[in-house]
Amino acid sequence: MLHDYLQDYLNYLSSERGLAQNTLESYGRDIQQYLTYLKEKKNLTIEQTNQANVIGYLLYLQSRGKATATLSRSLAAIKSFYLYLFREDIIERNPTINLDAPKQEKRLPKVLSVEDVERLLEQPDLKHPIGIRDRAMLEVLYATGLRVSELISLKLNDVNLEKGYVRCIGKGSKERIVPLGTISTKYLKLYIEHARKFLASSPFETVLFLNHHGKGLTRQGFWKIIKRYAENLNLDVDITPHTLRHSFATHLLENGADLRSVQEMLGHADISTTQIYTQLTKDRIREVYDQAHPRAK
């Protein structure tokens, strides 16, 4: 019965709220883990739960070494689930009504220097279709700041090489247009016109970036690609799929781009999310000052 409620809830999120597949999977995974905890650890039905059970679950996650961000995400999913159950008259009261997410430490994202970005982008071997694809993907990621999920979801008709932009669907199914630079346009054109046909398993395949089976890349597939190239560089920064996105935003702000424009390009709904990058640029200014000014030390 618990799992029937979960499936009904996910159907509601998909059909009535139009949430993206990645978000649905994340909510489903977090709530499934909570339901498993209730059944196996507490032998409770969802109707029997109270606020203490929810707090107990968060403490259980914490005892297993889960980060504050994980606790906050899990609580957000659980609160949304309970609200749905309450509105559907499945439960009489919502036990999460006064629960607030644990305070998160704001960790600054790791970014690469411009020089290290250039070294990373030069890693793929352009003698092979896979290398051309990888160079095009990395160039587009750094030129646009797209999320990896947005990058691998791009279709051929989302790209306008003539006008130099890509159209992507971001969080909340919001569409945005992001400009491509001259260099990323050059490598994207090289990939589309000369390499992609060697990867495509069908002439009717619409996904832009293809794996060696001729199908669209997965997030895990992209992660393996970027990790392999990063290992060759022996960088101080651990590269993640988001590293080029963070570097894109920071380098724009360091070179005078205004915060609102960067917010638009990143697809942030709230400018406060973008403002974290201004701290990075302040730190960089301080670092340059400390190194260069004769009276800094």
pLDDT at 134: 96
* Rounded Cα–Cα distance for residues 254 and 279 (Å): 11
pLDDT band of residue 295 (cuts 50, 70, 90) is very low
Amino acid at 239: I
Residue among 196, 245, 246, 251 flagged as catalytic: 245
pLDDT at 140: 92
Mean per-residue pLDDT for 176-191? 91
Residues 77-111: tens digit of each pLDDT = 999 999 999 988 889 889 888 877 665 555 656 77
Distances (CA, A) of 251 to 119, 125, 243, 278: 16, 26, 12, 10
pLDDT at 283: 55
- Active site includes 171? yes
- Domain boundaries in the chain? 2-87, 114-291
Residues 137-163: tens digit of each pLDDT = 999 988 888 888 889 999 999 999 999
- Active site includes 147? yes
Say if residue 2's pLDDT is above 60: no
Pick the CATH number of 2-87 from 3.40.50.300, 1.10.150.130, 1.20.120.160, 2.60.40.10: 1.10.150.130
- Active site includes 268? yes
Q: How many CB atoms lie within 10 A of CB 184?
A: 23
* Rounded Cα–Cα distance for residues 24 and 184 (Å): 32
pLDDT band of residue 288 (cuts 50, 70, 90) is very low
Query: What class, spelled out in words, does domain 114-291 have in CATH?
Result: mainly alpha
Residue among 147, 196, 246, 251 flagged as catalytic: 147
Residue with tokens 């339901």: 35
39 versus 2: the higher-pLDDT residue is: 39
Say if residue 226's pLDDT is above 70: yes
Strand order in the sheet with 159-160: 159-160, 165-169, 175-179
Residues 18-41: tens digit of each pLDDT = 777 888 888 899 999 999 999 898
Name the pTM for this structure.
0.59
Beta-carbon contacts of 114 under 8 Å, excluding residues fewer than 6 positions away, are 251
- Active site includes 219? no
Residue among 39, 66, 110, 171 flagged as catalytic: 171
